[in-house]
Structure 1
Amino acid sequence: MTQSPAIPLPPPEERRCLREAASLTQAQLAARVGVSRETVRAWEAGRTSPRGRRRQAYAQLLTSLAEKTAAQEPAPEVAAEGKGAVEVEVEVEVEGEVTACQQDLLTPAQAFDALYAFCAPTLVRQTYLLTGRRELARESVEHAFQLAWQRWPEVARDRDPAGWVRATAYDCALSPWHRFRPRYRHPEPPPADASDRALLDVLLTLPPPQRRTLLLYDGVGLDLPETAAETEASTPATAKRLLHARATVAERLPALSDPGELHRRLAELGATERLRAAKPVTVRDGSERRARFWTRAAIAFTVALIGTTTLTLRTAPTHYEPPVPPGEAVLGVPPRVAPGPLSETQQKLRDKLHAQMQHGPEKLAPQAG
């Protein structure tokens, strides 16, 4: 009996892109296929591969997501200008054939606006869970996207632009310098629901590394290696942080000891808060204003430095005058008393006398009257 060949699947990175393009979480996709969220996470990471009926169901679901994405998103042809065009191409391999789902030429501004519209609303809610402050969450996300626009050629070519912006926003939100700002010295009003307040209080009691690891793994849905890479830690250290964070949450909130329930509550807590992000045009304009400000500040500092150096060179002495050493006794003979160092007035007088004629004034000859 011959075995039927395995159904071709897209690469792991494209599987994740198709799921995110359809606005599906790993838990939602797992429910459609009939597996656990950890299994979907392993499929998208490339650690394991589905087999049998699960492989067939997974391939059919990815094919439908690709067709739905291609049908919903138009493909305008826009000339490349400014910083260059970004070519987006998603290919799905089905039954040995490669089908192009989308191939758009977007200007840098359009590509940035698409990334902002896709990531900013969710990222603001995630950053709020990380800090417990609404205004700080919006400010951190806007700052991250402003940096992304300043480095857009680099971010556009990154393997995961959304991950780049997320890591930058988290770093900005967890900066210890915010505690010195007057507007962030007092706590903000907590959520209205008692269960939401309890969960947020538990999250804020966690150390920042554990809080960030828990949010990335159980909130965002990253796997352990990706969480370790984004937090700049080793995989074993990340696993220990995750276990400690889960143990703390389960100790204070026993109902959230299940990771699936914790994931659901984190999503609900972020969705209950009305957190709105600024428009992408406003963020791009703010980034350009910030870039112009720092450019002008750098030019002004350079000019001031050049002027200070020039003034120092013009006014500094041209030679070194050693100080008069103190006298010493020789064979019991006391040292001769010598005058001390000249003052500025005396030095000017000495220079004036040296500049005059050395032979003195002319002699007066008497004349007979």
Structure 2
Amino acid sequence: MTRRPAPLLPPPEARRHLRETAALTPAQLAARMGVAPETVHAWESGRTTPRGREGEAYAELLHTLAEEATARRAEEPEAETTAEAEAETTAEAEAETTAEAEPRREPAPVPVVVAVGTRPVGVSDVVADSLVLPGRGTARGPDALTPAQAFDALYAFGAPALVRQTYLLTGRRESARASVERAFQRAWERWPEVARDRDPVGWVRATAYEYALSPWQRFRLRHRHPEPPPADPSHRTLLEALLRLPPPHRRTLLLYDGVGLDLPETAAETEASTPAAANRLLRAREAVAGRLPELADPQVLHRRLAELASAERLRAAEPPTVRACSERRTRFLTRAAIAFTVAFIGTTALALRTAPTYYEPPVPPGETVRGVPPRVAPGALSHEQLKLRQKLRDQLQNGPERLTPRPE
């Protein structure tokens, strides 16, 4: 009896990218495959590889998702043109019918804090452009995006949610906005590396969390002035419970129950082992449930975190502004490094120019010569010396007993 060979599958990163492009969660994909969500996580992380009929069905599903993504990209220009025309028609109709209506109210915020694990199309060119399915060619062609356009797409996709997450991490709106902007500035400085990362949003998220939890933040001027707490009492109580947690526990709870990462990914992002991350998560849940017993259920905690983050009006700067700040910072640091190098070279040249060109031996210490008594320091006069001095002072300076030189 011959064993059926394992089907050829794309890399684990490509599997996850196809699922995220199709807007499917691991649970939804697992339901379509008839397996557990943990099995899908294992396939996408590379820990296991499906075989037999299960592997063939998984490969066929990935191929279908790739074809759907290609079809959506081909229909995007036509859909945008049609949507613009419909929007103009609808706007004209609404302007005619609601000219005298009451002022327009701002819509209620939608809790979107947790949907930041996906990647925007056109940011990472390694997984998407090199994705090759067995015998079916590439899943998508190379993107015609410039680095600035790809960065703007990443910023527009991840910045709003990252600002809300960082607000839950710090409890300060201005600090959250500044941390996210600084993280994106760092990403623009190292854009080739970030663009080729398997999860650019995760790279920026980790950098933003590091800036937000840095102990140097307490020395900034904005930390001297407290910010107003949330208006809702339930949101205020939840935020106080989060801020009472130690920073590592708070970050682990936010990544696992807020963002929705699995335990190995949470441990990797917090630079801890998986058992340590699990211990931090359990302790954080116990502390929050001790203050708010209704949040003992992880699903309820997830929903409350999303509501708390979405209730705040948090906005980040525009992508061109962030890129301009990053470029100005880079130019400043480059010029400072050049100025320091020039000053160092000038100081070295001046030292070489003014340094002596011959050897000057040091003066040896004094030695005692045999037969010559050492010089005695002047001290107090003896009794005879005092009498002689007084006698000399009492005598006249000029008199018959003194010789007077005669002129010749």
TM bucket (normalised to shorter chain) is 0.7 to 0.9
> Structure 1 residues 277, 25: CA separation in 2 closer, same or farther (over 3 Å shift)?
farther
Is 1:156 the equivalent of 2:209?
no
Deviation at 1:92, TM superposition (A): 8.6
Match of 1:286 among 322, 325, 328: 325
Match of 2:159 in 1: 120
Q: Secondary structure at the match of 1:191?
A: coil
Kept after mapping to 2: 8 A contact 1:145/1:165? yes
Deviation at 1:294, TM superposition (A): 0.7
Counterpart CA distance in 1 for 2:307 and 2:26 is 16
Gaps of 5+ in 2: 78-123, 378-408
| 1:77-128 per-position Cα deviation (integer Å, ceiling 9, x unaligned) | xxxxxxxx9574385969x856725642322222222222221111111111
Kept after mapping to 2: 8 A contact 1:14/1:92? no
Match of 1:258 among 289, 292, 297: 297
Counterpart CA distance in 1 for 2:61 and 2:167 is 33
Counterpart CA distance in 2 for 1:34 and 1:250 is 34
Counterpart CA distance in 1 for 2:294 and 2:305 is 13
Match of 2:227 among 188, 201, 205: 188
- 2:362 alignment partner AA: P
> Structure 1 residues 62, 197: CA separation in 2 closer, same or farther (over 3 Å shift)?
farther
Counterpart CA distance in 1 for 2:70 and 2:316 is 27
Work out which structure has the larger RCO, using CA pairs closer than 8 Å and 6 or more positions apart in sequence. 2
What is the TM-score of this pair, normalised by structure 1? 0.72
Kept after mapping to 1: 8 A contact 2:181/2:322? yes
Is 1:16 the equivalent of 2:16?
yes
| 1:24-67 per-position Cα deviation (integer Å, ceiling 9, x unaligned) | 6667878999998766645543557899xx99999998777656
Counterpart CA distance in 2 for 1:264 and 1:60 is 35
Match of 1:352 in 2: none
**Structure 1 vs Structure 2 CA RMSD:** 3.9
Counterpart CA distance in 1 for 2:60 and 2:205 is 31
The 5 A counterparts of 1:1-369 are: 12-21=12-21, 41-42=41-42, 44-47=44-47, 69-73=69-73, 86=125, 88-89=128-129, 100-101=139-140, 103-318=142-357, 319-323=359-363, 325-328=365-368, 334-336=373-375
What is the TM-score of this pair, normalised by structure 2? 0.66
Deviation at 1:73, TM superposition (A): 4.0
Counterpart CA distance in 1 for 2:228 and 2:192 is 40
> Structure 1 residues 164, 287: CA separation in 2 closer, same or farther (over 3 Å shift)?
same
Deviation at 1:316, TM superposition (A): 3.8
Counterpart CA distance in 1 for 2:299 and 2:374 is 94
Question: Which deviates further from its counterpart, 14-23 or 124-133?
Answer: 14-23
Q: Who wins on radius of gyration, i.e. which is larger?
A: 2
